[in-house]
């Protein structure tokens, strides 16, 4: 009998399709229960993660198109990028109105793309004013230059005044401020706990840091995650982004680590493959992530 082998690409595609079908399957089960049928018994609800999208994935789309794309993809949470909600680049009123477009469409705003801070008090206050106007409780951030103690104390004063978390983002070996999550972790230790991390798993790996190790060690101040896959290796200063499951990263272990630490903030897919036509890549990777999470947390369809 002829035996058919499934290629890795076919297996990933099937996983992605299964993940995309999960919300529809859940809806069908709900409709069946409402129609008088006996609800199927199954395993107890398992842990879940708040899956969302890093708005950088939609960086070439204007705000209205980005909102429409998220609705089509059935993604309900985003960390907004500056082309959609221009934190620090425009006025609080503009940021408030732009953020409301997402909320009116039923999309929660979990955080921002990276807001680049300076040591100037006026610039920093403007960022926090824009963030508050947009209704944010967390902003992903970095600094234009490596911060000294006075800059960190100023930042601490603002997170206390505005009661807002800053999740400092690592950008890999070419980043002169925070190459690795551990650089962030070591920097923020003396300061208010609202100063924390946004771990980018791809840039972490390029910086020679195991993303799973970083998640486990930095759990106490981990407020945002950017999840992606890459063909780049440790020390590479040029990223080589690919869809989830096609690169070097162990996505399953990363998701398992987030479940293990009880991570309750957004896990944001950051798709960097095709900026001009991002929807197919986002759909594949988001479906892969949903399918993987369903296998890790049986009994409860992921967000």
What local confidence, expressed as pLDDT, does residue 139 receive?
98
Q: Are 264 and 249 in contact (CB under 8 A)?
A: no
Which CATH superfamily includes the segment(s) 47-296? Answer: Divalent-metal-dependent TIM barrel enzymes (3.20.20.150)
The Cα 17–Cα 10 span in angstroms is 10
**42 in helix, strand or coil?**
coil
Please say if the pLDDT value at position 8 is more than 70. no
Per the structure block, which two tokens stand in for 265? Answer: 């903030």
Across residues 79-97, what is the average pLDDT?
96
Please say if the pLDDT value at position 19 is more than 80. no
CA torsion 138-69-86-263 (nearest 10°) is 10
**50 in helix, strand or coil?**
strand
Condensed to tens digits (0 to 9), the pLDDT of residues 32-78 reads 333 333 333 333 344 589 999 999 999 999 999 999 999 999 999 99
Q: Are 110 and 138 in contact (CB under 8 A)?
A: yes
Please say if the pLDDT value at position 297 is more than 90. no
Across residues 207-224, what is the average pLDDT?
98
Across residues 20-24, what is the average pLDDT?
42
- Residue 200: closest CA among 176, 184, 220: 184
Please say if the pLDDT value at position 9 is more than 80. no
Which residue has 């609705």 as its token pair? 71
Please say if the pLDDT value at position 140 is more than 70. yes
Secondary structure in 3-state letters for 146-191: CCCHHHHHHHHHHHHHHCCEEEEECCCCCCCCCCCHHHHHHHHCCC
Contacts of 236 (CB under 8 A, 6+ apart): 173, 206
- Residue 82: closest CA among 105, 120, 111, 123: 111
Across residues 181-210, what is the average pLDDT?
98
What's the pTM?
0.84
Please say if the pLDDT value at position 27 is more than 90. no
User: Domain map of the chain by residue range?
Assistant: 47-296
Condensed to tens digits (0 to 9), the pLDDT of residues 141-189 reads 999 999 999 999 999 999 999 999 999 999 999 999 999 999 999 999 9
């Amino acid at each position: 009998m002829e035996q058919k082998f499934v290629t890795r690409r076919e297996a990933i595609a099937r996983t992605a399709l299964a993940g995309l079908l999960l919300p529809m399957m859940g809806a069908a089960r709900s409709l069946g229960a409402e129609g008088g049928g006996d609800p199927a018994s199954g395993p107890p609800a398992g842990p879940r993660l708040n899956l969302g999208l890093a708005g950088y994935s939609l960086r070439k789309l204007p705000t209205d198109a980005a909102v429409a794309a998220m609705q089509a993809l059935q993604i309900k949470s985003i960390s907004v990028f500056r082309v959609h909600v221009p934190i620090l680049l425009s006025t609080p009123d503009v940021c408030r109105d732009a953020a409301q477009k997402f909320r009116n469409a039923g999309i929660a705003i979990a955080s921002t793309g990276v807001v680049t801070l300076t040591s100037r008090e006026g610039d920093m206050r403007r960022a926090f004013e824009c963030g508050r106007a947009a209704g944010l409780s967390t902003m992903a951030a970095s600094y234009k230059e490596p911060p000294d103690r006075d800059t960190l104390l100023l930042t601490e004063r603002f997170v206390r005044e505005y009661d807002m978390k800053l999740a400092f983002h690592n950008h890999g070996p070419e980043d002169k401020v925070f190459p690795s999550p551990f650089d962030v972790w070591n920097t923020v230790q003396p300061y208010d706990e609202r100063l924390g991390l946004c771990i980018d798993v791809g840039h972490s790996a390029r910086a020679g840091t195991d993303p799973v190790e970083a998640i486990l060690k930095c759990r106490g101040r981990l407020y945002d995650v950017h999840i992606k896959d890459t063909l780049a290796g440790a020390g590479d200063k040029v990223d080589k982004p690919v869809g989830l499951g096609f690169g070097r990263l162990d996505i399953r272990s990363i998701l398992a680590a987030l479940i293990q630490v009880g991570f309750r903030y957004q896990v944001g897919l950051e798709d960097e493959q095709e900026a001009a036509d991002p929807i197919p890549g986002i759909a594949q990777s988001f479906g892969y992530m949903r399918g993987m999470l369903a296998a890790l947390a049986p009994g409860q369809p992921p967000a």
